[in-house]
Structure 1
Amino acid sequence: MADAFEDGWAWWVIGLAVGVPVILVVLTEIIGTLTRRGNPVAKPLRMLRNGVVPVGALFGLLAFAIQSPADQVWTRVVATVFGFLVILLVLSAFNVALFANAEKDSWRGRIPTIFVEIARLILVGVGLALLFSWVWDADVGGLFTALGVGSIVIGLALQNAVGGVISGLLLLFEQPFKIGDWLDAAGVKGRVVEVNWRAVHIETGGGIQIVPNSSLSGASFTNMSEPEGPYSAETPVKFSTDDPPHEVMSLLVAIADALPMKLPRERATVHYSGAGAYAVSIPVAGPADASRALSMYLSWLWYAARRRGFALDGDATDPLAEPQRLVEAMAAIAPTLHLRDDDIEAVTAGARLERYGVGETVLGSGIVPDEVRVVVSGRAVLAIEADGGRIEFASAEKGDIVGHTALTRERTQAVTIAGEVLTVVVLPLSTVDALIQSRPRLAGEIGEALELKRTLAAARLAELGIARNVIGER
């Protein structure tokens, strides 16, 4: 026994027998605490407890306690396993220290995972080479030379494919755009739905366009989603040079401001560049709303330009302007107004036809109408504006009157919107007043219709639990 202590191996045995269990118990308690807190340090400590410490204890027992010769195969095997585990532990610790708690916008947070994995693979390979050189006396110089030459040959053979991959990795690292952003790149405009090593997938509305990363990295492109804030949906429009510019600009702004996609606290702008050409800019929340806003804007503008007699795209032709169309419309609404054959010509003299696109405002709220409209075809929707939205409560179809409050000289409390393409006959207030004076029954019907709309509006608001003191309808 004295010889065992003199040689030192007994101390190693005692130290390992006592120290290893103590270390394992302490590490278990620390790991349990860190795991409950969600701390990423628990992962390398778990590797230390489950692998490094037990294998290290076995290596210490063989090399120092039993004093097995270093050239013994099983001693070298244990030393190799122990060294490999130490390499993994060091890499795991560095990974936790550098990347586990990295902020999203920091350079550490922007490094793609593939970069980290490649670097880890290279370090593991170098570490294993040095370990084999130290434990097994292996000559790794030739191996590094062969790998270097092989890498050059493979790189030259796959330079196009590798170039695309490298371009993709650089895009992932730099992150000039992210999933969901809208790009205008290489003649392709749309929303990014996928980014991988080789290409970017862009949804254009007509399918998925795949743009190689090499094309993006070698050319300029526009990220329409950056910077954050209002996005301008822009479109050129052209009118005849005979149309008064200021009146046209006023119409262009009015149509743009009525769009539901326009940002509430922003104003549309119009620039006149001469020769009947205008540039319209509409503030919307983002590129996703731009195409829908422009589609609705241009369709509304077509109807509005015809109603004002402006020549949009140089053409002011409107089929509704044909006299026969108005005669046919008056015949269609004659029962509503109780018109006799000898009345139609007189009423037609002051009337006109108007047409509205789907969603256009026919009559706004808070105004005293000076005209009355009668629906010829299509459908109008009546809605109360409340809590930043519109609450529909009634509709007007063929033969119904829009603008009842013109006769009572009251402000409208609801808004009338074209639910579908809507055609109406517009009658001056003086014409309708004259008809009412000679037709008491018409006056009674208009009064009943007005009261019915008020009742429907009040019932709808009560159903939704919204209080309103005054409810009117035009």
Structure 2
Amino acid sequence: MANVFASAWFYWAIGIAVGLPLGLVALTEWQHVLQRRQSVLLRPVTILRNYLLPLAALLLLMLEANRVPPHATSVRVVSTLAAFVVLVLMLSGINAALFQSAPDGSWRKRMPSIFLDVVRFVLIAVGLAMIFAYIWGANVKGLFTALGITSIVVGLTLQNSVGQIISGLLMLFEQPFRLGDWLQTPQAKGRVVEVNWRAIHLETSTGLQITPNSVLAAASFTNLSRPEGKHTCEVETVFAHDDPPERVCAMLTRMASELPQRDPSRNPNTIALGGMQYRTKIPLISPAEDGKATARFRRWIWYAARREGLHLDEADDSFSTPERIEEAIFKVVGPTFRLSRDEHEDLVEHARIECYADGERMQRAGETPLGMTFVLAGAVQMNAIMEDGSEVVAWTQEEGSFLGQSTLTRQPVLGSAYAVGEVTAVYVGRDKIAELVQRNPRLLQELGRTIEERRQHVLRALDQTTEVDID
């Protein structure tokens, strides 16, 4: 018995028998704490508890307690397993400490996972070579020499493909764009849907554009999505020499501000470039709206320029002729105001025909109408304003109807009117409308009754009891 207590293996056995359970209990508690906190150190601690600690205990038991020779095969196998677990633990700990816990925007957070995989593979290969060299006595110099020669041969053979891979890795490391960003490249304009080692895939209006990384890395391109919320599209137009630049800029800016694709937090602006050219910058919510916004803007300004007597692309407008005005007055204005033949002829000089594009705003909430508009062709959608500022469709006016009757009371309207399809209308100024109403007092009563009927119609549409005065 005395010999047992005097032996070194006895204390090693007792230490392992007591230390292993205590270590497992301590690491288990630490593991639970990290799991509750969702810490990035959970995986390294799990590897330490489940693999490294038992292997270390087994290795000490074999070497110190059982006195197994270090060069024995069983000891070498256990040592290899323990060394490999140490290597995995080191890689997991470095990854958790440096990259998984990195703050947003830092270079550690921007490090692509491809780079980490490559570095991890190289470290594992070097670590395994060192393990076999020190534990098993293997000669790994010849292996590294063969791998070096092989890598040179493969690199020379696949230099084009390898160049694209390196370009892709460098571009991924720099991260000039992310998935979902819009890019303007020399080849195409589109949204990034995939990035791999060889090429970048852009979703364009004509299909999927695949651009090799080496081509994109060697050329300049524009990331339309950065900085966020700052994208604008530019539209250049041409007007006649005689058109006042201030009126042209005001009209273009006003139409740009009406676009549904515009960013409501920013305002568009127009500048005169000289030589009859103008440039309008339209802030957009997303680069994906470029095409829709440009197409709608060009369509709207075609109508707006003719309404204001401007000459887009130096074109003359001969639509609002006296003959057409007279025909329109006879068709829609005359029946409403019960005009005589002399009044028909007198009104021709005070009226004009206007055209509106589909979706264009004909009347803005909060404005006081300067005259009345009579619908000659098309339909007008009347929207009421809710308490939260949103709009709801109240009703639709067809041919022969009118809007802007509050011009007589000079009160601002609380609703908006939008053209449904192309709308042709006859516009008559406030002074002439007031003159016609003074000649026919009964007409004023009918207009008042029309206003009240529309108010009731709006109330039913909104399903509430608050009075809403919409024109």
| TM-score, normalising length: structure 2 | 0.91
Aligned to 1:391: 392
Distance across 2 between alignment mates of 1:358 and 1:64: 90
- Flag the 1:285–1:71 CA change in 2: closer, same or farther, 3 A: same
1:197-225 Cα shifts (integer Å, max 9, x gaps): 22222222333322222122111111122
Deviation sequence 1:351-405 (CA, Å, 0-9, x none):
3211011222223344443422111111112224453433332322111011111
Residues in 2 aligned to 1:287 and 1:383: alpha-carbon distance in whole angstroms: 29
Q: Give the match for residue 209 of structure 2.
A: 209
Match of 2:139, SS? coil
Output the CA distance in 2 between the equivalents of 1:124 and 1:164. Answer: 25
Q: Which moved more, 1:435-444 or 1:246-255?
A: 435-444
Higher mean displacement: 130-139 or 421-430: 421-430
Q: Does 1:219 align with 2:219?
A: yes
> What does residue range 10-25 of structure 1 map to in structure 2 within 5 Å?
10-25=10-25
CA distance, structure 1, for counterparts of residue 312 and residue 461 of structure 2: 40
Partner of 1:321: 320
One-letter amino acid matched to 1:472: D
CA distance in 1, matches of 2:370, 2:71: 108
- Contact preservation (8 Å) 2:180, 2:191: yes
Flag the 1:52–1:367 CA change in 2: closer, same or farther, 3 A.
Answer: closer
Which position in structure 1 is the counterpart of 2:279? 279
Counterpart residue identity of residue 165, structure 1 = I
Query: What is the percent sequence identity of the aligned residues?
Result: 41
**Conservation of the 8 A alpha-carbon contact between 1:358 and 1:420:** yes
SS of match in other structure, 2:421:
coil
Q: Within 1, Cα distance between the matches of 2:134 and 2:312?
A: 84
Q: Which residue of 2 aligns with 1:472?
A: 469
Give the Å deviation of 1:100. 2.3
How much has 1:180 moved relative to structure 2? 2.4
- Please tell me whether the aligned partners of residues 379 and 399 of structure 2 are also in contact (alpha carbons under 8 angstroms): yes
Aligned to 1:147: 147
Say which SS state the counterpart of residue 413 (structure 1) adopts.
coil
**Alpha-carbon distance in 2 for matches of 1:32, 1:429:** 80
> What is the aligned partner in structure 2 of residue 127 from structure 1?
127
Corresponding position: 1:160 with 2:160: yes
Q: Kindly report which structure 2 residues correspond to 1:48-447, keeping only aligned pairs within 5 A, or say none.
A: 48-264=48-264, 266-318=266-318, 320-322=319-321, 324-333=323-332, 334-338=334-338, 344-385=344-385, 387-429=388-430, 431-433=432-434, 435-436=436-437, 442-447=443-448
In 2, Cα distance between the equivalents of 1:411 and 1:93?
69
Give the residue type in structure 2 aligned to 1:97: A
> 183-192 or 441-450, which moves further after superposition?
441-450
2:443 is equivalent to residue 450 of structure 1: no
CA offsets per residue over residues 71-116 of structure 1, 9 Å max, x none?
3222222221121112112222222221221112111111111211
Equivalent position SS for 2:40: coil
What is the CA deviation profile of residues 413-454 of structure 1, one whole-angstrom value per residue up to 9, with x for unaligned ones?
323222321110123445545555666665454332211112
Question: Residues 156 and 261 (structure 1 numbering): CA distance in 2 closer, same or farther, change over 3 Å?
Answer: same
**Change over 3 Å in CA distance of 1:331–1:33 after alignment to 2:** same
| 3-state SS in 1 of match to 2:428 | strand
Q: 1:370 to 1:134 in 2, by over 3 A?
A: closer
Question: Offset at 1:132?
Answer: 0.9
210 and 324 in structure 1: CA distance in 2 versus 1, 3 angstrom threshold: farther
Distance (whole Å) between structure 1 residues aligned to residue 71 and residue 414 of structure 2: 98
Once the two structures are TM-superposed, the CA of residue 130 in structure 1 deviates from its matched residue by 1.0
Q: Is the 8 A contact 1:396 1:402 kept in 2?
A: no
Matched residue of 2:248: which SS? helix
Contact 2:182 2:223 in 1 (8 A): yes
Cα–Cα, structure 1 residues 55 and 473, in superposed 2: closer, same or farther, change >3 Å?
A: closer
Structure 1-normalised TM-score? 0.90
Separation of aligned partners in 2, 1:11 and 1:473: 96
Structure 1, residues 4-42: CA drift from partner, whole Å, max 9, x if none?
A: 555522222222222212211221122122212212222
Change (3 A) 1:8 1:373: same
Structure 1 stretch 374-383 or stretch 265-274: which is displaced more? 265-274
Task: State the one-letter code of the partner of 1:456.
Answer: H
**For 1:194, what is the secondary structure of its paired residue?**
strand
The Cα shift of 1:2 comes to: 4.5
Q: Deviations over 1:102-137 (max 9, x none)?
A: 112111111111211221111111111111111111
Distance in 1 separating the partners of 2:208 and 2:389: 36
Contact 2:239 / 2:312 at 8 angstroms: preserved in 1? yes
2:371 and 2:405 in contact (8 A); partners too: no
Q: Distance in 1 between matches of 2:434 and 2:70?
A: 116
8 Å CA contact 1:372, 1:427 repeated in 2: yes
Change (3 A) 1:178 1:13: same
Q: What runs of 5+ residues in structure 1 fail to find an aligned partner?
A: none
Q: What is the distance in 2 between the residues matched to 1:14 and 1:457?
A: 90
The whole-number CA distance in structure 2 between the counterparts of 1:370 and 1:76 is: 97
Preserved contact between residue 256 and residue 282 of structure 2 (Cα < 8 Å):
yes
> Match for 1:321: what amino acid?
S
Cα RMSD of the aligned pairs, angstroms, is 2.6
- Alpha-carbon contact 2:320-2:354 (below 8 Å) kept: no
Describe the shift of the 1:134–1:365 C-alpha distance in structure 2 as closer, same or farther (beyond 3 A). Answer: closer
Structure 1 Cα separation of the partners of residues 366 and 56 of structure 2: 85
Alignment-mate amino acid for residue 469 of structure 2: G
